Structure 1
């Protein structure tokens, strides 16, 4: 098994935990605060990963260059915008369609990788992406009244457009992070990922903190009151990002993001086995399509 596969699955599991924590935080603070927590409370852990690789493992820290800094900036701001839009959807009672469209990220990532770097994926990989994305979208609309009219109308709904924009920005960020990490040129994929993570999350923390000081200082107090959940969110978020960056240094971003749809299976496993919730036939079909897409991806 190629190393990027278990790294991606682990990152998807951690991201599932981070998303659950952010949904909880959204109930006690605004969208800005819930977005900041992912970055600000993740920074200490990102620095710890970098220090461990340098001081314990003995890897040199590569010096940043112009290309690296450019792509870090693109990825950092893209991810801030994508996260803000996705968390904003949590405020809406009917955010399922929007969330579904945010999951078009793997397909959009493949498109941006082709546009920016000429990276091409195989026909099998494209089929895997299409099947898994369709499975995720089925799950997200499973509790709607299914009709062609509803499906067509949902495409142009406000939440759908927000979700699509979120997926676009996540796709751009994924491609940018791979480009940034590769621009360092060594010493290995772990250190390249760690340096990319530290620079990215530092920039995001600085920008988000500055915004709150300028526009919404009360949000800082709400974050302080929820520091325990915020710290957990930062830990799993930073660890997941470290995993994504390592995987995307080893493999094309679109392929990594396609396998990352396994996160939905973790979500459903928790729903069924821990919360004893029942899933309907459409949700079951969506899960099977995700599994089929992942299997095609792994053998393509």
Structure 2
């Protein structure tokens, strides 16, 4: 498989993820942090299921589900929800670009988790790229001084978000690779995405009913803002899932650091 495919997918996913985050930031002003996070899954799930169904019909059936798939899918889905909620909290503490940068430590964390959990050992060049990306995060966060930029609550929440996203990416790669059959990498990615997104939506619905009973209705009433969040989020996730199917999560996330440039541009708009 040509490396240009997963690289292009990673860049495209980073752009769409930044756009989705900007849309969520606007939506959170109306429905709150939990509501904005919920909308991202609620309106993405039907689109993800539809895409997987179309691809499965073209391939003659769904992939075979190995025993490891449900476990990895659940871990990845939980990590993504936690990471997204933490990231939205960071945005409320700091400006958009710096808050996003704190979470980008997920790259080196994904490299370590990928090696430990999946045996995805990176080569010297890949480790060099990871080191450069982390150095860039530290330099960006130090704009107000090392103590003000690094040693504060926003940085801690951002790093925790990165840990959750790193575990999520590694788990999604493991889930896609656990699927059986010859349907191709796109079907594997789309099927895994559909399963994960449906599970996330069910979990978030129960969580919202418990913590904020009126929030589900508020999200549904704000559908004009929420539908774009779900649609863009689904496309971004499809890009990530497909790239994870083709390459180690750390390499995908290292390329995805281009999202920082997109977030800087967004902050200036």
CA gap 1:168/1:198 in 2 versus in 1, 3 angstroms: same
How far is 1:152 from its partner? Answer: 3.5
**Following superposition, which runs of at least 4 residues in structure 1 exceed 6 angstroms of deviation?**
none
Name the counterpart of 1:223.
219
Counterpart Cα distance in 2 of 1:152 and 1:97: 15
Name the counterpart of 2:33.
31
How far is 1:8 from its partner? Answer: 1.3
Name the counterpart of 2:71.
70
How far is 1:141 from its partner? Answer: 4.3
Quick check: 2:35–2:215 contact (8 Å CA) kept in 1?
Answer: yes
CA shift digits 1:187-221 (9 cap, x unpaired): 21111101110110111100000111122112123
TM-score, L = length of structure 2? 0.92
**Highest CA radius of gyration, 1 or 2?**
1
Quick check: 1:99–1:140 contact (8 Å CA) kept in 2?
Answer: no
Quick check: 2:100–2:263 contact (8 Å CA) kept in 1?
Answer: no
CA gap 1:269/1:71 in 2 versus in 1, 3 angstroms: same
Q: 2:162 aligns with which of 167, 187, 191?
A: 167
Name the counterpart of 2:187.
191
How far is 1:224 from its partner? Answer: 2.1
Name the counterpart of 1:211.
207
Counterpart Cα distance in 1 of 2:185 and 2:223: 32
CA gap 1:196/1:136 in 2 versus in 1, 3 angstroms: same
Name the counterpart of 2:175.
180
Which ranges in structure 1 are unaligned for 5 or more consecutive residues?
A: 276-300
How far is 1:181 from its partner? Answer: 0.1
User: Aligned pair 1:233/2:209, yes or no?
Assistant: no
TM-score, L = length of structure 1? 0.83
Name the counterpart of 1:84.
85
User: Aligned pair 1:267/2:263, yes or no?
Assistant: yes
Higher alpha-carbon deviation: 261-270 or 190-199 = 261-270
Quick check: 2:108–2:130 contact (8 Å CA) kept in 1?
Answer: yes
Counterpart Cα distance in 2 of 1:8 and 1:60: 27
Counterpart Cα distance in 1 of 2:109 and 2:15: 22
Counterpart Cα distance in 2 of 1:255 and 1:163: 20
Counterpart mapping for 1:62-141 below 5 A: 62-93=63-94, 98-141=99-142
CA gap 1:6/1:165 in 2 versus in 1, 3 angstroms: same
CA gap 1:193/1:81 in 2 versus in 1, 3 angstroms: same
How far is 1:111 from its partner? Answer: 0.4
CA gap 1:169/1:122 in 2 versus in 1, 3 angstroms: same
CA gap 1:14/1:95 in 2 versus in 1, 3 angstroms: closer
Q: Tell me the secondary structure at the aligned position of residue 84 of structure 2.
A: helix
CA gap 1:269/1:98 in 2 versus in 1, 3 angstroms: closer
How far is 1:96 from its partner? Answer: 6.2
User: Aligned pair 1:252/2:248, yes or no?
Assistant: yes
CA gap 1:175/1:100 in 2 versus in 1, 3 angstroms: same
Q: Tell me the secondary structure at the aligned position of residue 65 of structure 2.
A: coil
CA RMSD across the alignment: 1.8
CA gap 1:258/1:195 in 2 versus in 1, 3 angstroms: same
Which ranges in structure 2 are unaligned for 5 or more consecutive residues?
A: none
